[in-house]
Each structure stands twice: as C-alpha cells, then as structure tokens.
Amino acid sequence: MKKIISLILIVALITGCASAPYTGRSQVILVSEGQEAALGDDAYRHVLRDSVVTRAPDAERIVRKVGERIAAAANKPEYKWEFTIINDPETVNAFAVPGGKVAVYTGIFGPARDEAGLAVVLGHEVAHALARHPAERMSQGLLLQLGGVGLGIALGRNPAVANQVLQVYGIGAGVGVALPFGRAQETEADRIGLILMAKAGYDPRVALELWERMEKKEGGKGAPPEFLSTHPGYETRISQLRSFLPEALIYYQAGAGRVETLPTAESLDTPAAKSERELLKRVEAINRFVAEQNGERPVLEALAYELRINPQVIAQERQKLQVGYGQYAALRGLANLGRESINRIVDDYQRGRSWSDITSANGSRVSELMVWLGDVIRTTHNMARQLRNLPQNPNQRWRP
C-alpha cells in the first residue's frame, strides 16, 4: 500500500508541475482549471446567497469599468467575467475566483477612493486567480489526503471539498476571517497585480498611496482590515512594492479619460440593507453556535419545538438541502410565517434572490423573520442549558 501511495504522489508531482505567470515560480497543481473554476463558482454563489448585494448604478458602472479593464489585461478569454458589489461598509475586502467571478465589498471604497485605487485591489485579487493560488492551496491539501482516499475521490464535487474551497478563499464563515494565502503568494499577487493594473492603463504607483491609506485605517482600529490578512508588514510591503514598480511601469500606458471617484459606502447603504445584514447576523449566530458549541442537538430541538416537527425530519431535510442550520431556520421560518411552500422558498434562495425579495414574495417582512430567528436562538440556548442538566439520559427529549 505504501508503495502505491508513493507512486501516486510521484505521478501527481510530475504531472502537476506548473509555473506562475510573470514570476515563473514553480507550482504543484493537481486540480484542473475546469475543476477549479467550477468549485470557485460554487463558492462565489455560496457567498452571494448570504450577502446583501447592491445594484447602485454609479457604483456598478465604475466597478465594472475597472474590472473589465483588469480582465482584459489578465487575458483569460475563457473566463466568464462577472462583477458584484456587496453592501457591507464594515468589510474592507474584495475577492476574485477562477472563472472570472469578482466581488467587491463597499467597505473598501473608502481606502480605494477612486477607480485607480480600486484597480490596485482588483489587480491583486485577480492575480490570485490568475496565478492559481487557490488551486495550489487545494493541491497541498489533496497531497496530504492521498494516503486515505484516491485522487479522483478527493477532487469530487462534494460538501467536504466545497467547504475546503471556501476555506481556501477565506469566504466561508465570513470573508477575510480565514487566512487563505501565505505571504509568498500575497507578495506574488502584489507583483502581478501591479502589472495587471499597469496594462489596464492605471498608474501602478498609486498602490503606494493605497497601502498608506490602508495602514492608517489599520492603525486607527487596532486590527488590520481583512484585505491585509497574511500580508507582510507595512514597511516590508512598501519596500517590496517599490522594487516591483520598475517592472510594472514597463507595461504602463495612461488610460484615456479622467479617473472617477468612488461613491462612499455610507451613501450606498439603505435601511433595507441594514435590516438584511442584521438578519444575516442572526443566521450566522445559529451556524456559529453549532460549530463552536457542538450544538446541533439544541438547534434541532429548538426548531422542532418552534415548528412542531420531528427533529429527525428537520435533520434529514436540512442535510438534503445542504445548507447551514441558520439558513435552514430562516427558510423554514419563512414557510411558517407566510404563504409559500418551503420548496418555493428554497428555490428562490438557491437562485440567489435576496432575503428582502424572498420575504416580500412570501407575504412577510425581514423584521418578522428576525423576530422568528431571535425566538429560535433563545430556545436553542434554553435547550442547551437543560441538556447539560440531563447527562444521565442523553436521549430524553426537552420539553419547554
């Protein structure tokens, strides 16, 4: 068996050799570009389903303009480029996945300031995808798994691999919470990103100004914005960027037209968006309770009590839908509150409709759903306390 595993590893290492664009750094990548794009698209859709997307015309126009220029510089015609703005003033971040899917959080509009600053951000994120850093990270994990499963199984599109993709991108429990890339990859993305923005017609020297603003934002709050996760320290990074500038400037030709200023995150925010973010916080609170407290049973029992449904039915239905307990509670809550069937509500959710739209179509309001989730959270905590007092009979049902 050890000989077979060794042979698989040797073959994988030989067939998986690749080189990063522009830098020429050697890589071991066992995931095909098609597999990587499909998994990246799944991760992207997963995030958008549980985010507040804004369709503000001016913001969309500028983000799309910058994104399309960076995309042209990346020269990946097989990618199906898509640019989405997520309304979250507190999240200073953006991400791009293979296949051309890009998301920008409104929290980064302040530090970016204008389209040139945004080009620094998007150039960096697209560089991660172009250099196949996510596939490189996944491949490292797959090599570790080869002792237990075959490569074909490990690469299958299953929930475990999907979760790994989310962790690689750092977009699982919240964008930027996980640390998706190492410092070598972050530095490489800086270097390639400068080249991409220069080819797109944006002055790469703007990057120094952006990181100065990011450093001030970091110093003001005592913790780095998500976009700085795993990056080298500020002084080191500025020094590296300066060393990369001569190479990037070779590609630079000033673009036509004036550089537009980005709208502020505050101007894009709305009461409806704020309410929907509060709703999503309650959804995430339930998921976090399950993950941190090993709290699956208390949540099951709480939902069973609120819905008057057998816990086993709830567990089976949630697993079939492949959603977190928080999302399931919200979906079931809507069916309980309104006029639509659970199947119709789930279909709307999976098609990417916002929670505001789904609740409205169901004859409900976001505020009503928040109250429902609040009841589920309180009942869950009560259930957890009572279960802790029943160690002698773990199968006993809780009765509120």
- Please state, in angstroms and rounded to a whole number, the distance separating the CA atoms of residues 96 and 77: 16
Which is more confidently placed, 31 or 145? 31
Could you tell me what percent of the chain has a pLDDT over 70? Answer: 79
Q: pLDDT of 318-364, one tens digit each? A: 999 989 999 999 999 999 998 788 889 999 998 888 899 999 999 99
Q: Which pLDDT does position 391 carry in this prediction?
A: 57
Contact 329, 376 (CB under 8 A): yes
Confidence of residue 168 (pLDDT cuts 50, 70, 90): low
In angstroms, the Cα distances linking 363 to 274, 333, 351, 371, 376 are 20, 13, 19, 15, 21
Q: How many CB atoms lie within 10 A of CB 307?
A: 17
Helices (H) and strands (E) in the chain, counts: 19, 6
pLDDT exceeds 60 at position 56: yes
Residue 110: both structure tokens together: 């302040």
In the chain, where the domains are located: 2-265, 271-388
C-alpha angle with apex 117: 114 to 122, nearest 5 degrees? Answer: 115
Contact 262, 114 (CB under 8 A): yes
Q: pLDDT of 117-132, one tens digit each? A: 999 999 999 999 999 8
C-alpha angle with apex 220: 217 to 226, nearest 5 degrees? Answer: 45
Selected catalytic residue, list 33, 36, 78, 125: 125
Mean pLDDT for 58-65 is: 97
Assess whether 125 carries a catalytic annotation: yes
User: Considering only CA atoms, which of 22, 21, 26 is closest in space to residue 248?
Assistant: 22
